Chains A and B, each alone.
Chain A
């Protein structure tokens, strides 16, 4: 049962990631990104990290993706037949892509991680995350909030209208 669910999630994620990579139209890529983000969120939930999965849905699918689609629609002319996302440097990209894939698969099959089985699943990981965020990771947590504030101000300054 677990394997079937995992296969479905795997197919959705990789399939829509392939659409993102190989689609010639930017808006199709943007919408296919939705499937990738949902698939990754489902993977997190399968891995026993429901909080990270929910944050993934809220932030990525609800925030970043909407922003991306807005940016696409504000900058590109959307026509189904038009190539808005041309492919270039293909002679460099294919070898680099294959090299990355080969190296990572090489490390994978070299038995660094084989024979691992899942540790006993701990319930209540959200409580543990909350505790760790407010004790051990307090400084990075606060720094992230400052970074978010600076981001908000920076985005407003970059896109503001020039006052004459």
Chain B
């Protein structure tokens, strides 16, 4: 077992995340892309820790990434629900301000 398949997997996930962030106009769609990007980063952390270091530092970084992703997701979805309450849409083309 080499590191290459894991890196390829992370590359594909990251690129798909970039594609989603570029193409979506729905705010929740963006978030899914960001989750994919963060997952790719965690895979890289864990894979390099496993194959080059042998210590647990990479796993701890992956845990921190997961915790911060949870925070980011909660806040972003709260903002999305607030936007929906006010604008009745979450399409980012129609929503250009956070203030009301």
Contact = CB atoms under 8 A, between A and B. Distances in A.
Interface string B40-59: 00110011011111111101
Contact of B15 (A104, A151, A155): A104
A143 B91 CA distance: 34
Interface in A57-90: 59-60, 63-64, 67-68, 70-72, 74-76, 84-90
How big is chain B's contact interface, by range?
Answer: 35 or more
A33 B26 contact: no
A96 B17 CA distance: 11
B62 A52 contact: yes
Contacts of A76: 26, 28, 90
> Which secondary structure dominates chain A's binding surface?
helix
Contact of B11 (A88, A105, A144, A155): A105
A63 B18 contact: no
Contacts of A40: 13, 39, 42-43
Contacts of B35: 33, 37, 60, 64
A52 B42 contact: yes
Given A40-B42, A49-B59, A56 B66 contact: yes
B66 A49 contact: no
Q: What are the 4 tightest A-B residue pairs by CB atom distance, in nearest-first order? A: A93-B22, A155-B78, A151-B71, A97-B19
Interface of A: 2-3, 6, 10, 13-14, 17-18, 20-21, 26, 29-30, 33, 36-37, 40, 43-44, 47-49, 51-52, 55-56, 59-60, 63-64, 67-68, 70-72, 74-76, 84-90, 92-94, 96-97, 100-101, 104-105, 108, 113-114, 116-120, 122, 125, 128-129, 132-133, 137, 140, 144, 147-148, 151-152, 154-155, 158-159
Given A113-B51, A117-B2, 7 more contacts: A49-B46, A60-B66, A86-B25, A86-B26, A101-B15, A114-B4, A155-B75
